[in-house]
Chain A
Amino acid sequence: MAVSDIETAAAAPASAASTASARARATAFLAKRHHLRWWEALPWLLIIAAYFIFPDRLTFGTQVLIGIMFALSLDLILGYAGIVTLGHALFFGIGAYTVALLTARWNWGEPISSMLLAILLSSLAGLVSGWFLLRYRNLTLLMLTLAAAILVQEAGNYRSDITGGYDGVPGMEIWKLFGVFENDLYGHTYYIYVGVLLLIVWYIVRRIVYSPYGAALTGIRENVRRMHAIGSPVHWRLVTAYTIAAGIAGMAGALFAQSTAYTTLGVFDFDNSAKVMVMLILGGTGRLYGAFIGATVYLVLEDHLSKLSPTFWQFGIGLLLVLTVLFARRGLLGLLEDALKYFGRGAKS
């Protein structure tokens, strides 16, 4: 809905006046929704603050940032477009393996170009698989996404002479960033690097979900029949969203491989797909910042509790899921909103 549309509508005869005013209202609504609010700076301030508060925990911090990026990509398709997938790790894995194989097989360890290639390849995988799979719904879609990830994993296992199988890709060597900044032991470089990239990704995703295209995705999630009825190209919308999300997931995978210099076929595991979903659900779907809160809370809890007792952690995450589904369907952010409303301040400022 561009401005030129409104002008044309306004220039039209009086019969179109109501349409024009409706369009103007819609544009104003979208523009207002689009405005940055003050609290949207909070996650970024916290990410910057963490750099100074936990200078010796930045390797872990980098993993949190990567987790946020991965969860954000899932939010685009699960939270906004309503595509339930059990195989999102496929794209994360493709991204990670692009980087890993580039350095191990072709001795190319330049981080930025290999990340760009990872984004390209995982988007391509998203485009192709999305084109085939997104015609299906419900259980069939769940199974197909799940099977697609396992299929690639099994293929990788078959050629474990190349992929290194479950032992990992041998001899990964990532070059200095821009040829200058080495990834030091404490992960300062990658924390900043991933942080900046996350800011870019967040901005792109934010633009997407607040655009008319994003509104169409939400429409598909809410009522797919009506979207068909008003002539929205539903399949294409879903495929493009899936492709973008796949690209971002691949980027997260590439950054994971670069920051840890380590990749095994385990990245394709169902566990990895389930984990990112749990992060997102925990934070809250379809609200952009759910990924931030969910990934942080999940990874920090995991870091602390799994050292204490992995069994206890697994039980806890199961219980957390059950409780979230039964009592806090909108995640931690939903709870926060409810709390803010309850105390009468109102969440919409």
Chain B
Amino acid sequence: MSASAIVSILFDGLAYAMVLFIISVGLSITMGLMGFVNLAHGAFAMAGGYLVVTLTRSWGVPFLPSLVIAAVVVGVASIPFERILYSRLYKATELDQVLLTIGLAFMAIASYTYFYGPSPLTVPLPSFLTGQIDIGVRTVPTYRAFTIVVGAVLIALLWYGFERTNIGAKIRAAVDNRRMAQSVGINVDRLFTLTFALGSGLAAFGGGLAIQTFGLTPSFAVLYLVFFLIIVSVGGLGSLKGTLIASILLGVFDIGGKYLYSDAGGFFIYVLTVLVLLIKPAGLYGRE
């Protein structure tokens, strides 16, 4: 295998991993906080993707602002879902949670098929994001480099927010021990609503970012859900570091597998997932 092939696997894998990370991180934290199995998370990412398409195509908003707008709109719109539907099932079994959120995902898929049609949609990119860029070793697609930069910035922001701010400390405390956090006066319910909105917003941002890489169809909501769930469970619930490492592993292995063995490509990540979970059931950085 040539050096150039290794560089492109690492580079493409990393770009892919960033999108996966941005979408999955919210899922990981909300699951870590409440233990809520949210299979509708992909639907929020998809909603973001379609919102970006509408904003850029019909309303003429440039790509970058529409990513931000989609994140904010979906984040705010997710609050009523959390308050009205999810909050009823925090103490229910995970079967109930799975069923409710699968139901929501189905409804989302059907609604978006009705309004946007089943065929894949694309988004007009600004000229500075198309074409190739020279990164020294070789030239790479600009959009992928852009994805990696955006991912790195978001990781830095999230890390700062999580580790260095008061609210981040509260979230960590609640993930560690919800009862203890509650008894020292942290309003875990409100904290959860906040992180849920943040997570959905990030998912929507990632969904917009993913249009170029994954393609956008209404089945997005469940098609990539398995990937998000794998990242969350392999990384460990509620762990920023775990989610990042799992995203990179999955991204690089999936791209690498597909480059090197196109037929068996999808195989690797599932083997990897099963192995990690058999050895560490709570994930790489999860707590038992």
Contacts and interface: CB of A to CB of B under 8 A. Distances in A.
Interface of A: 78, 84, 86, 132, 135-136, 138-140, 142-144, 146-148, 150-151, 154-155, 157-158, 160, 270, 274, 277-278, 281, 311-312, 314-315, 317-322, 324-326, 329
Contact of A325 (B103, B233, B267): B103
Q: Please classify the interface of chain B as helix (H, G, I), strand (E, B), loop, or mixed, using the class held by over half of its residues.
A: helix
Q: Please classify the interface of chain A as helix (H, G, I), strand (E, B), loop, or mixed, using the class held by over half of its residues.
A: helix
Contacts of B277: 136, 140, 143-144, 147
Interface in B274-288: 274, 277-278, 281-282
B281 A136 contact: yes
Contacts of B108: 318
B229 A146 contact: yes
Nearest to B112: A311
Contacts of B88: 326
Contact of B274 (A147, A270, A315): A147
B233 to A, nearest CB: 4
B102 A274 contact: yes
Nearest to A323: B103
Given A84-B94, A318-B108, 20 more contacts: A78-B95, A140-B282, A142-B94, A142-B98, A143-B233, A143-B277, A144-B277, A144-B278, A147-B273, A147-B274, A154-B266, A274-B102, A314-B113, A318-B102, A318-B107, A318-B109, A320-B103, A321-B102, A322-B103, A326-B88
A315 B110 contact: yes
Nearest to A161: B263
A311 B273 CA distance: 33
Q: How large is the interface on B (under 10, 10 to 19, 20 to 34, 35 or more residues)?
A: 35 or more
B271 interface: yes
Contact of A84 (B95, B109, B226): B95
Contact of A270 (B37, B111, B222, B273): B222
The 5 closest A-B pairs by CB, nearest first: A321-B103, A318-B106, A315-B110, A318-B107, A322-B103
B95 A154 contact: no
Given A86-B98, A151-B267, A314 B110 contact: yes
Contacts of A315: 106-107, 110-111, 114
Instruction: Name which of B37, B105, B110, B113 has the most chain A CB atoms within 10 A of its CB.
Output: B110
A33 B98 CA distance: 32
